[in-house]
Amino acid sequence: MKMTFRWFGSNDDTVTLEQIRQIPGVTGVVGALYDVPVGEVWPVEKIKKLKEEVESHGLELEIIESVNVHEDIKLGLPSRDRYIENYKQTLINLSKFGIKVVCYNFMPVFDWTRSDLAKRLPDGSTALSYEDKVVKEIQPDKLVEEMEKGSKNLSLPGWEPERLQQLKGLFDLYKDVDEEKLFENLGYFLEKIIPTAEACDIKMAIHPDDPPWGIFGLPRIVNNKENLERIINLVDSPYNGLTLCSGCLGANVNNNIPEIIRYFGSKERIHFAHVRNIKIHEGRNFDESSHLSSDGSLDLFEIMKAYHDIDFKGYLRPDHGRMIWGENARPGYGLYDRALGIAYINGLWEAIGKSAK
């Protein structure tokens, strides 16, 4: 595996490349251009600048999270073709700088969703949390407001204000899009972009829905083994692959994460691993815990063992961390708890590797 760390750029991250470089075992960052509107082509000059900045700190930039997909593509509107052409051009531009994997998602309107960005845990740390009742009762525009309030004036990935200002219109458009239609629209998108991804040698890695169920009546399809299987078969190419996020899929107790890793790993379709833990409470409620198995509901040893068993050579990153030691950072993306996560994942990896010999 290649250990990486998500970074939001020098203008928009409290964590610096100097700090990231000092975390044991990290070889690269997971980056993106956050100032290009969704649907537009990522300019070569900006990609170059980001790449050079990361490399000048002794780190690699080989993976992007995310090139977001324009809503018109998910909706299947006639205007999608223009945005798909732009997406292809972005892949071509990224390939000029040695990008190997592009993560994206296909969640209608809302990317990852939480009811609280700073829930206080018994040890005094704060964490992202999801309470089903709150999300069921809140109006979508109110949720957007709450997320913005909790963001500490840092951008939240996937929560682009320009798009979310048009909530009402988007909800109207989605009235005609059910899960089958969404699959169809994803298939259309993949058929067009995978040949370009192949030519550019960039592996596409779809990110699961977070949480892995529909919210506000909007369809969601990237949420269990059966649907992941259907997605990789929409276009049967190694370039049509997955970001395997343990915390997203794991929120549904029916998803057996080690089994899912072994299954898609044996098909060589996992290109990017997000490793994190969650503490599941009764019903559809969970808090994000530290990475440690005994703090959450997922067994990180079994998860890392599954990656070891499939001889995982792809990119991996710790996922969200709690806010600890008085850190004031983007919710989920501080330095300390994610660095602790890395130390733990590295420890598991070394122990599993040595005891397997």
Residues binding ligand DNO (CB under 6 A)? 65-66, 103-105, 111-112, 157-158, 207, 210, 332
Nearest to ligand DNO of 80, 338 (CB atom): 338
Closest CA to 218 of 339, 109, 104, 77: 109
| Alpha helices for 211-256 (secondary structure H) | 225-234, 246-250
Nearer to ligand DNO by Cβ, of 105 and 115: the residue is 105
C-alpha angle 325-327-328 in degrees, rounded to nearest 5: 155
Q: How far is the CB of 271 from ligand DNO (least distance, A)?
A: 13
Whole-angstrom Cα distance, residue 151 to residue 156? 7
Using the structure block, give the residue that is written with the tokens 């990237």: 222
Give the residue from 193, 274, 169, 264 showing the smallest Cα distance to 226.
Answer: 264
CB atoms within 10 A of CB 319: 23
Q: How far is the CB of 65 from ligand DNO (least distance, A)?
A: 5
Q: Please state the three-class secondary structure of 294-319 as a single string.
A: HHCCCCHHHHHHHHHHCCCCCEEEEC
How near is the Cβ of 338 to ligand DNO at its closest, in Å? 11
Q: Note if 320 is an active site residue.
A: yes
Q: What is the three-class DSSP state of 237?
A: coil
DSSP 230-270: HHHHHS-STTEEEEEEHHHHHTSTT--HHHHHHHHHHTT-E
Catalytic residue among 72, 319, 337, 344: 319
Residue 75: strand, helix, or coil: helix
For this structure, is 70 an active site residue?
no
Strand order in the sheet with 126-131: 116-120, 126-131, 285-288, 278-281
Identify the bridge partners of residue 5 per DSSP, sorted by sequence position. 29
Q: Which of 274, 308, 315, 336 is catalytic?
A: 274
Q: How far is the CB of 274 from ligand DNO (least distance, A)?
A: 7
Catalytic residue among 87, 116, 207, 308: 207
Give whichever of 308 and 331 is closer to ligand DNO, judged by the CB atom: 331
**Cβ-proximal residues to 95 (8 Å cutoff; 6+ apart), any chain:** 200, 201, 202
Catalytic residue among 320, 336, 337, 344: 320
The distance of closest approach from Cβ of residue 346 to ligand DNO in the complex, given in angstroms and rounded to an integer, is 21
Nearest-angstrom CA–CA distance, 219 and 181: 9
Residue at token pair 């009402």 = 168
Q: Please state the closest distance from residue 188 (CB atom) to ligand DNO, in A.
A: 19
Our CB check for ligand DNO shows the closer of 80 and 220 to be 220
- Smaller CB separation from ligand DNO, 112 or 130: 112
Q: Which is nearer to ligand DNO, 8 or 312 (CB)?
A: 8
Whether omega before 266 lies within 30 degrees of 0, making that bond cis, reads no
Q: Which is nearer to ligand DNO, 5 or 112 (CB)?
A: 112
Q: What is the smallest separation between the CB atom of 222 and ligand DNO, expressed in angstroms?
A: 9
- CA dist., res. 11 & res. 96, Å (int): 24
333, 336, 337, 344: which one is catalytic?
333
Other beta carbons within 10 angstroms of residue 174's beta carbon come to 20
333 flagged as catalytic: yes
Task: Please say if 245 is a catalytic residue.
Answer: yes
How far is Cα 52 from Cα 138, in angstroms, rounded to an integer? 43
Residues labelled catalytic: 207, 245, 274, 319-320, 333
